């Protein structure tokens, strides 16, 4: 019976089971369809605003605009993001291995996402109730950095995955790694491993060691947290973790790992190239932004080839600072020092602006006094300590340092020696506010070879070489003489040096010579050499003051000048750059080339955007120019610029001093280069008694020209026209007057 019943039940059971299975399959199919529809809808929603991956083919990240000197050395850069674009082959295997070991072990095998890492991360997120767990592959990080915002919401994560899959379908692993390596943020404004290698180690990425590559590879997880500058201990632990991962992955041996982990961080931070010629670089930036726009300059990766000579620029920097130091010492200790306690600053955290620079022998820095005793002063300059001894402050006439310095004072010092363990030997200097500026221009090309716009760019960005309009004093007189020579005057023509008065709006104007003496009838040669004021006034009256002003404008001076006789003594205001450029006309046979800072500019791809050869203009005849060189040679050989004969080189020029010694000038040239120097205060106040152009400016000019002329030993000025030579022979040679500085006063 049971057997018969079993035979009857089995078909019924099988039919029932079949119906259940069909229902389950149908339910699963409905569920799958619903999930697929939901997923499709979800993907549609999150892909609506998804960027096109094809944009990545044309993607060019923001990169650094770099400025080069005439030797191809980087002297400055502009960037919103400090990035150096590199190719895949520029990144060494050790760096690629380090990055892949710590960030994405299966990078070479996965298709944009690592499913097991994603599931594991999701599980840990759910179990911990947070969104702290990562699992992003390099490709996902790239998609987030390039196209998406950094938040950790679910929708953004979906977009990140979708973008990563699209990127993997369209690009090779090498292309993806290169894009990632050029894009990733590494802290301190640095983006990309090439820029990171240069910033942290002052070397190209291809030269990285294992420990250096590991340090860089560990930064993307937390550039601030693992900064080797701000958090060296955490950075070291992170670096060693990367090294361990590389060993576990078989990318380096245990011996290599042990050796690499034993090494200290050994940072060699890249010095700021803008320090060499900050005023020149800033002037270039203003020009570039005006011509090409701010975005192109700071994001476009331009290559800017400038006219600057790095060696001459360093000589200019040193000459200006040493010249100002000599001026300060001549006028004694003034003791007007800022004290951090009195100013309400924190002694422990105080930082001066110039402490970002690395001290070197001969450099000038502000230093904070940390301890004072009768035998020495201890100071702080950033991470450096310094010692100042009484012998190095003897010029102040104070033997006991405690008499003039107190803890918390910010003193101005010159670095004598850099010792081990970041210790310095220094000499006490002074910064009373006196400023100086220098411009040097190549006569034959108009190229600006050096520019100093002030004592300290960190304290004042105002460029006194290009932005300051100052009275020129007697350095204006060569324009007067040029107008006369163009009208036929000769060096040995005579003029009367005797009292004279002229009507003016306020009655009679009676100019006088600097020494209040008069020499009677003298030659033009002697009058200019000794900078006699009365002959210059008489000469200006003879040729016509309007003719003089027209001549000044032909020389390239753009300042509006009123047609009054006092102009002949330098009451007109000009910039040092225009004044210096005008003087290049004399040694250049009457031709003036417009001064310029750039040779050429190219874009990111190397296409030429600008090329500059200088605008050429005839100012005076070659004959007149050679006569003026002869007259200005007399200033050096027999007159107010006599000190320059110590150079033992053919040079010429003119001193200049304004009323009350507010401005001191020396404008001079050799056959190849013209240099102008100005010394004064930003506000118009006196430099002090007898601080003439010969005293304050000429020594700076000479120190610079020693370097500028070092490799130009055989140069000579063009010969005088034969008729001028013959005319000079027919005249009785003037007996040189006693040497002295005959400036306008």
Give the integer Cα–Cα distance in Å for 118 and 641.
80
φ, ψ (nearest 5 deg) of residue 118? -65, -45
Residue 544's CB is within 10 A of a number of other CB atoms, namely: 13
Tell me which H or E stretch contains 19: helix 2-47
Give the integer Cα–Cα distance in Å for 193 and 364.
34
Counting Cα atoms < 13 Å in the Cβ hemisphere of 129 gives 0
Name which of 611, 76, 450, 466 is nearest 298 in CA terms.
Answer: 76
Residue 130's CB is within 10 A of a number of other CB atoms, namely: 10
Give the integer Cα–Cα distance in Å for 493 and 502.
23
DSSP 170-208: HS-HHHHHHHHHHH-B-STTEESHHHHHHHHHSS-GGG-
Give the integer Cα–Cα distance in Å for 550 and 4.
133
Give the integer Cα–Cα distance in Å for 661 and 741.
13
Residue 423's CB is within 10 A of a number of other CB atoms, namely: 12
CB 473, CB 657: distance < 8 Å? yes
> Mapping DSSP to helix (H, G, I), strand (E, B) and coil, where does residue 603 land?
coil
Tell me which H or E stretch contains 99: helix 93-103
Residue with tokens 């004021």: 533
Residue 183's CB is within 10 A of a number of other CB atoms, namely: 19
Residues labelled catalytic: 103, 474
**CA 403 to the chain's CA centroid:** 39
Give the integer Cα–Cα distance in Å for 669 and 702.
11
């Amino acid at each position: 019976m049971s057997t018969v019943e079993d035979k009857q039940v089995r078909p019924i059971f099988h039919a029932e089971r079949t119906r259940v299975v069909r229902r389950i399959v149908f339910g699963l199919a409905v569920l799958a369809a619903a999930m697929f529809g939901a997923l499709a809808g979800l993907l549609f929603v999150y892909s609506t605003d998804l960027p096109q991956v094809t944009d990545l083919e044309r993607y060019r990240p923001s990169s650094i605009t770099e400025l080069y000197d005439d030797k191809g050395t980087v002297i400055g850069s502009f960037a919103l993001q400090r990035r150096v674009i590199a190719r895949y082959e520029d990144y060494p295997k050790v760096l690629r291995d380090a990055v892949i070991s710590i960030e994405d072990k299966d990078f070479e095998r996965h298709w944009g996402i690592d499913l097991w890492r994603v599931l594991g991360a999701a599980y840990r997120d759910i179990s911990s109730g947070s969104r702290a767990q990562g699992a992003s592959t390099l490709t996902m990080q790239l998609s987030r950095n390039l196209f998406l915002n950094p938040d950790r919401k679910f929708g953004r994560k979906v977009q990140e995955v979708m973008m990563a899959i699209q990127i993997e379908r369209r690009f090779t692993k090498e292309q993806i790694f290169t894009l990632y390596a050029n894009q990733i943020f590494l802290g301190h404004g640095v983006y990309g491993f090439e820029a990171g290698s240069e910033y942290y180690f002052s070397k190209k990425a291809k030269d990285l060691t294992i420990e250096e590559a590991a340090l860089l590879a560990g930064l993307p997880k937390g550039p601030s947290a693992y900064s080797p500058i701000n958090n060296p201990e955490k950075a070291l632990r992170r670096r060693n973790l990367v090294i361990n991962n590389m060993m576990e992955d078989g990318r380096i041996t245990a011996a290599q790992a042990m050796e690499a982990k034993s090494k200290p961080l050994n940072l060699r931070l890249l010095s700021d190239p803008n320090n060499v010629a900050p005023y020149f670089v800033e002037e270039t930036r203003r020009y570039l932004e005006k011509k090409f726009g701010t975005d192109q300059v700071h994001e476009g990766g331009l290559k800017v080839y400038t006219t600057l000579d790095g060696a001459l620029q360093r000589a200019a920097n040193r000459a200006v600072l040493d010249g100002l130091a000599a001026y300060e010492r001549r006028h004694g200790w003034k003791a007007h020092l800022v004290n951090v306690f009195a100013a309400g600053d924190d002694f422990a955290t105080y930082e001066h602006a110039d402490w970002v620079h690395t001290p070197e022998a001969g450099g000038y820095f502000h230093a904070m006094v940390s301890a004072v005793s009768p035998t020495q002063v201890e100071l702080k300059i950033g991470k450096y300590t310094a010692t100042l001894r009484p012998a190095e402050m003897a010029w102040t006439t104070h033997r006991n340092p405690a008499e003039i310095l107190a803890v918390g004072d910010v003193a101005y010092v010159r670095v004598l020696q850099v010792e081990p363990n970041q210790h310095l030997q220094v000499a006490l200097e002074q910064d009373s506010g006196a400023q100086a500026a220098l411009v040097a221009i190549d006569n034959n090309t108009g190229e600006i070879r050096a520019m100093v716009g002030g004592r300290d760019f960190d304290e004042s960005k105002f460029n006194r070489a290009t932005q300051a309009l100052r009275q020129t004093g007697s350095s204006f007189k060569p324009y007067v003489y040029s107008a006369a020579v163009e009208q036929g005057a000769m060096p040995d023509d005579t003029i009367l040096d005797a009292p004279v008065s002229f009507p003016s709006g306020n009655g009679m104007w009676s100019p006088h010579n600097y020494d209040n003496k008069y020499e009677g009838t003298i030659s033009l040669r002697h009058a200019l050499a000794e900078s006699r004021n009365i002959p210059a006034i008489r000469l200006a009256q003879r040729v016509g003051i309007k003719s003089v002003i027209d001549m000044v404008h032909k020389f390239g001076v753009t300042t509006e000048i009123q047609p009054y006789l006092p102009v002949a003594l330098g009451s007109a205001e000009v910039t040092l750059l225009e004044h210096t450029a005008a003087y290049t006309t004399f040694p250049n046979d009457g031709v003036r080339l417009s001064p310029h800072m750039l040779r050429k500019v190219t874009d990111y791809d190397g296409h030429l955007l600008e090329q500059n050869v200088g605008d050429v203009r005839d100012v005076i005849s070659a004959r007149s120019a050679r006569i003026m060189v002869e007259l200005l040679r007399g200033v050096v050989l027999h007159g107010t610029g006599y000190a320059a004969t110590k150079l033992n080189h053919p040079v010429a020029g003119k001193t200049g001093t304004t009323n009350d010694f507010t401005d001191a000038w020396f404008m001079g040239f050799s056959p190849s280069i013209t240099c102008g120097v100005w010394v004064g205060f930003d506000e118009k106040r006196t430099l002090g008694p007898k601080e003439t152009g010969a005293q304050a400016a000429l020594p700076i000019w000479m120190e610079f020209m020693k370097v500028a002329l070092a490799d130009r030993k055989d140069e000579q000025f063009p010969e005088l026209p034969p008729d001028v030579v013959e005319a000079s022979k027919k005249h009785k040679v003037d007996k040189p007057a006693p040497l002295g500085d005959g400036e306008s006063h």
